[in-house]
Amino acid sequence: MHYQHRFQDGSDLQLPLGKVVCVGRNYADHAAELNNPIPSEPMLFIKPASSVVPMEQPFSVPQGMGSVHFETEMAILIGERLQHADLSAASAAIAGVGLGLDLTLRDVQDGLKKKGHPWEKSKAFDGSCPLSAFVKPELVPDLQDQQIRLTVNGELRQDGNSALMLNKILPLICYMSAFFTLEPGDVVLTGTPAGVGPVLPGDQLKVELVDLLTVETAAK
């Protein structure tokens, strides 16, 4: 399926879809709920372009692979090439702010973690990254004071603020760019606050970048 990045206001956005660079355990309350220690340096992983689907359309929950968890995350659209970026380059490269669901095969991940194996199968599978449209960065008053929320079947499940990120967005982008060149159209997922849990076919989800963007969608 052809995927195209888009702005929430419908204005033109001509960036190709690239990879999605993610950080694990970027909120202390989420690390604690899974009994994970807080990492001493950012824990990075990548979801490939083939994992991305539009959040506004019903997304598939893999069957027969154990529990599938939602993780609601602030998504940053990269508009300029970044390699060993400094803070000002990272800031200037932000083309949009949106929402991503970092869908995770939690049982598969637990098995891989026990064996000391990479997480890819649990994090990078097809459809594992529903992505919203993006809000222009100038409309976001403060990247590090932004509430994100997830409501499932009318029940508030995640309600976190980017102020609580262990690695703030700009230094995180710089750190990522020292390992992985970020290209125009790549997306950075900034970690999930606490409250993660299983998502089941038929669940109705409301995902919010509070006061900026609301996506109503469903799992199938």
Binding site for Zn ion (CB under 5 A): 71, 102, 192
Report the residue number, 13 or 104, with the smaller CB distance to Zn ion: 104
Q: How far is the CB of 7 from Zn ion (least distance, A)?
A: 24
CA distances to 34, 35, 73, 172 from 38, rounded to whole Å, are 11, 9, 18, 15
Between residues 102 and 208, which has the closer beta carbon with respect to Zn ion? 102
Report in angstroms how near the CB of residue 71 gets to Zn ion at its nearest: 4
Which one, 73 or 208, has the nearer CB to Zn ion? 73
Kindly provide the residue ranges of all beta strands, DSSP E only, lying in 64-211, ordered along the sequence: 68-70, 72-78, 94-101, 104-105, 129-131, 147-152, 155-161, 187-189, 197-198, 204-209
- Do residues 162 and 144 make contact, with C-beta atoms less than 8 angstroms apart? yes
Structure tokens at 95: 């083309």
Q: Whose Cβ is closer to Zn ion: residue 71's or residue 186's?
A: 71
Report yes or no: 73 and 190 within 8 Å, Cβ to Cβ: yes
Tokens at residue 17, please? Answer: 């879809």
At its nearest, how many Å lie between Zn ion and the CB of residue 111? Answer: 18
Closest contact distance (angstroms) between CB of 105 and Zn ion is: 12
Question: What residues does 216 pair with on adjacent strands?
Answer: 206
